[in-house]
């Protein structure tokens, strides 16, 4: 079973546009879930633009899919014990 979500990145008007300075975000009203649709990701970008009004918005949406974990989750490990 794959997990599919969308990640939003932006430079947040930083001076030096370096990949290590990019912000990866997905929170909305205190919740920290990544958007599960492109529509939701675009909605969050519009809300961010309205809230912060960056000089030039360079937000970008990335489609991410996790196909398989390499190790068991904490819940899986504790249920086996």
- CA–CA gap between residue 8 and residue 58 (Å, rounded): 10
Q: Domain residues of the chain, as ranges?
A: 3-80
DSSP 26-45: --BTTB-PPPSSHHHHHHHH
Which pLDDT score, from 0 to 100, does residue 73 have? 82
Q: What is the mean pLDDT of residues 5-9?
A: 85
The answer to whether 8 and 59 have CB atoms below 8 angstroms apart is: yes
pTM equals 0.65
- CA–CA gap between residue 61 and residue 68 (Å, rounded): 22
- CA–CA gap between residue 31 and residue 40 (Å, rounded): 14
More confident residue, 33 or 7: 7
Q: What's the pLDDT tens digit per position in 35-77? A: 889 998 898 888 888 888 888 888 889 898 888 888 888 888 8
Structure tokens at 46: 């519009």
């Amino acid at each position: 079973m794959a997990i599919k979500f969308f990640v939003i990145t932006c430079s947040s008007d930083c001076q030096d546009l370096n990949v290590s300075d990019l912000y990866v975000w997905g929170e909305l009203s205190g919740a920290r879930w990544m958007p599960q649709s492109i529509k939701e990701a675009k909605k969050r970008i519009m809300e961010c633009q309205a809230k912060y009004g960056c000089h030039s918005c360079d937000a970008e949406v990335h489609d991410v899919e996790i196909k398989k974990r390499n190790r068991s989750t904490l819940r899986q490990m504790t249920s086996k014990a």
